[in-house]
A and B are shown apart, each in its own frame.
Chain A
Amino acid sequence: MSTPESVVTAGMHRGTTAIDWARFGKGLLAGLAYPIIGITALLAIWWLGGWVIASNPDTEPFAGFAPEPAFARLLELIANGYVLEASLPSLERIGLGLLWAIVIGVPVGVGIGIYAALREITHVPFQFLRMISPLAWMPIAVLAFATWDGAIVFLVAVAAVWPVLFSTAQGVRRIDPLWFKVAKNLGADGFQMLRRIILPAIGQDIFAGIRLAVGVAWIVLVPAEYLGVTSGLGYAINDARDTLEYDTLAAMVVVIGVIGFVLDGICVTLIKRFSWHHQD
């Protein structure tokens, strides 16, 4: 049998739950409001651009760029598997290029973060190489690699290595020197220092560098895939241009944007996961 007190408590509990739901809904709306405004604005500009192109007889053949034909084509391309077919080779090249960038960038970044002499020695060469557009390496890459795929992975790696390297080095330089002193005092050897102190301390810096690298690599990938390959998103765009299928071209641009956004989201999640800054 319920007492009057228990009814009141249950009522209060229900009331609290209702308020929490309301708050949750409000928070969700507040969180989504700005992205929705941004996306709407982007679509509006795109639609307006498409309308202007379609309204002008000189540019009317390019009307396929507008949102309606592009999205209609996109749905078709998803349904017939073309999007997946084009995306997987690109993702593989990006993945391999980033892997090389990390394999080279993280150890070298740790090295120049720790050793001032190495930092001084590498400063000029690295800044010089960093300033060269990765696409400028294209002819050399084509000569140096036996396959087109190898050349593209090389170009992606060349673009992606610098953000990873410099972000890692910066992270190492920001480590509290006392952490090294304490670890030494507790008997850490070089490998233990790297594994237990340096890498956890700079985890978020490494992933912040990878996030930047993904952006740069993704930008380089599309023109790199204009090279002799017959697969990938860059090839799909080039092919659509050659066959005057502008709706397909716009649809593939959307695919590139969406995949880039998802990759960035993965990087942000990893940065948060490896961030040790306390969050109350």
Chain B
Amino acid sequence: MSANISIDFITHTFKGQPAPTLENIELRIQPGERVALIGRSGCGKSTLLHMLAGLLMPSEGCVRIHGHQVSRPSAKWNMMFQKPSLYPWMSVRENAELGLVFAGQRDKDKIDRLLALVGLSDKAETNVQSLSGGQQQRVALARSLATSPELLLLDEPFSALDAFTRSSLQDEVAQIVGREQLTMVIVTHDIDEAVAMADRVLIMAANPGRIVGEVKVDLPFPRNRASAQFSRAREGLMTRFEQLVGGDGDRSQQQKEPDDANADAQQAA
């Protein structure tokens, strides 16, 4: 079953900070939908993703999955991080099956199938420290999929990889998510990544973090980066992003500008 997500008016202020990091976020994500969150650094994308994962509770509002409030992490909504964060004392297989071990449901066949899916069957018994960055992210993906999640949350998972590995993993993950009928939310700085993987791209601005617009990407999977449609979608998203976030999309800055102008005028007089 794919996750049906509703984010109800989330506002979040970190302890010791005067202003909220996120303000009044309202969002619906349909089952099986692939959503990308893009925005400049500090706009609260990762904070929002952590809330979806149940790793962080909002100051106000709530996240609901299938109508139930998310109040703690669960293997049903799994997160992949920028770093693969594999356990270096374990083999590829042991890392991949960890979620199942925690649930008391070891399933060798399932892990074999997942390792085949991510192209690591021949490395199953290898220590993860021997793998390349791309292979490690594949193990992290297999680990995330092993618990049969309804929702896959990706926090810039490919940003540390080289360009070739990154684009091949983007395609693989998007296809796996489609095949397994998962709901997916990815946080990224990369416009290409958003266009390659998402059905809908949400644009976020900072200070306070908020969703300022969205762009649908209506292209079939697998997406061909060399195609004219892909380039058009990319250009469209880029233009919309520039329109909405512009300089830095900082509302406090936007509000400050007229004040500053007034102050300058008063000083001149």
Contacts and interface: CB of A to CB of B under 8 A. Distances in A.
Interface of A: 176, 178-179, 181-189, 192, 196-197, 200-201, 203, 276-278
Contact of A185 (B75, B103, B129, B130): B75
A192 B129 CA distance: 23
Contact of A187 (B73, B89, B127): B73
Given A185-B79, A188-B102, A276 B88 contact: yes
A187 B74 contact: yes
A192 B87 CA distance: 14
Contacts of B129: 276, 278
A178 B88 CA distance: 13
A185 B151 CA distance: 12
Given A196-B98, A196-B102, A276-B89, 19 more contacts: A176-B85, A178-B81, A181-B81, A182-B85, A183-B102, A184-B55, A185-B53, A185-B73, A185-B78, A186-B75, A186-B78, A187-B75, A188-B102, A192-B102, A197-B87, A201-B87, A277-B88, A278-B88, A278-B130
Contact of B85 (A179, A196, A201, A276): A179
Given A176-B85, A178-B83, A200-B87, A186 B55 contact: no
A178 B84 CA distance: 9
A278 B131 CA distance: 11
Interface of B: 53, 55, 73-75, 78-79, 81, 83, 85, 87-89, 98-99, 101-103, 127, 129-130, 143, 147
A71 to B, nearest CB: 44
B88 A187 contact: no
Contacts of A185: 53, 55, 73, 75, 78-79
Nearest to B101: A196
Determine the main DSSP class of A at the interface with B: helix
- Nearest 8 pairs of A and B residues by beta carbon: A276-B89, A278-B129, A186-B99, A187-B75, A178-B85, A187-B102, A184-B73, A185-B73
Contacts of B143: 186
Contacts of B89: 200-201, 203, 276
Nearest to B82: A178
A115 B73 CA distance: 20
A187 B85 contact: no
Contacts of B53: 185
A176 B99 CA distance: 18
A8 B159 CA distance: 53
A51 B128 CA distance: 59
B147 A186 contact: yes
